[in-house]
């Protein structure tokens, strides 16, 4: 024989003021859910901002540098400059993915990831220069101009992305 079910108890708001009207639990829980949805949508807007700017900047850099380097530069300088440009293009997108993950973490982890991302990319620029100049024997001026020009271009949109996302999310 199956035992009878106990009657369901009503959930009451446990406040100090017993004269206050009782609110249903569903209306209290709806506020944080709508806040989470709004935060999620704002977060997506900020991410779309970066991705849109990333691809626009990549296209502009490749188009402008291709035309100017093919018209004005020597083949050695052009090769070195394109080598220097390739590295920041790739690392900037990887940094975006890491920063996107870090936004969901506590503030201390986010700050650590953001600072370490900057420092690692600067260190990687040095390694890329050493590989381009010492191992591949590329033109040093072309490698430096390609690396630094592209890196700082992407750094500008990354800083504006982090600023906009932090401002939108209230962080």
Q: Is residue 96 part of a domain?
A: yes
19 pLDDT above the threshold of 80: no
At 46-80, the pLDDT tens digits run 788 889 989 999 999 999 999 999 999 999 999 99
Residue 64 structural domain: 37-169
Least-confidence region, from 67-71, 90-94, 100-104, 136-140: 100-104
Query: Could you give phi then psi for residue 82, rounded to 5 degrees?
Result: -65, -35
Predicted confidence at residue 118, as pLDDT, reads: 83
**pLDDT, position 37:** 61
For the chain, helix, strand, coil in percent to 5 are: 80, 0, 20
Domain count of the fold of the chain: 1
Q: Is 11 within the bounds of a domain?
A: no
- In this prediction the pTM is 0.68
Mean pLDDT, the chain, integer: 79
pLDDT value at residue 4: 59
Is 15 a member of any domain?
no
Answer for the pair 132, 83: CB distance below 8 angstroms, yes or no. Answer: yes
């Amino acid at each position: 024989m199956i035992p009878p079910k106990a009657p369901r108890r009503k959930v009451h708001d446990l406040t100090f003021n017993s004269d206050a009207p009782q609110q249903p639990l569903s209306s209290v829980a709806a506020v944080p859910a709508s806040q989470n949805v709004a935060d999620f949508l704002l977060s997506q807007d900020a991410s779309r901002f970066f991705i849109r700017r990333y691809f626009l900047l990549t296209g502009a850099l490749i188009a402008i540098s291709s035309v100017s380097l093919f018209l004005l530069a020597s083949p050695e300088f052009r090769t070195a400059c394109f080598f220097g440009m390739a590295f920041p293009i790739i690392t900037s997108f990887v940094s975006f993915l890491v920063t996107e993950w870090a936004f969901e973490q506590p503030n201390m982890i986010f700050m650590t990831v953001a600072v370490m991302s900057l420092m690692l990319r600067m260190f990687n620029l040095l390694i890329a220069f050493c590989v381009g100049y010492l191992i591949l024997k590329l033109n040093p001026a072309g490698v430096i101009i390609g690396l630094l020009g592209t890196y700082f271009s992407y750094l500008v949109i990354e800083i504006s992305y982090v600023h906009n996302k932090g401002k939108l999310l209230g962080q």
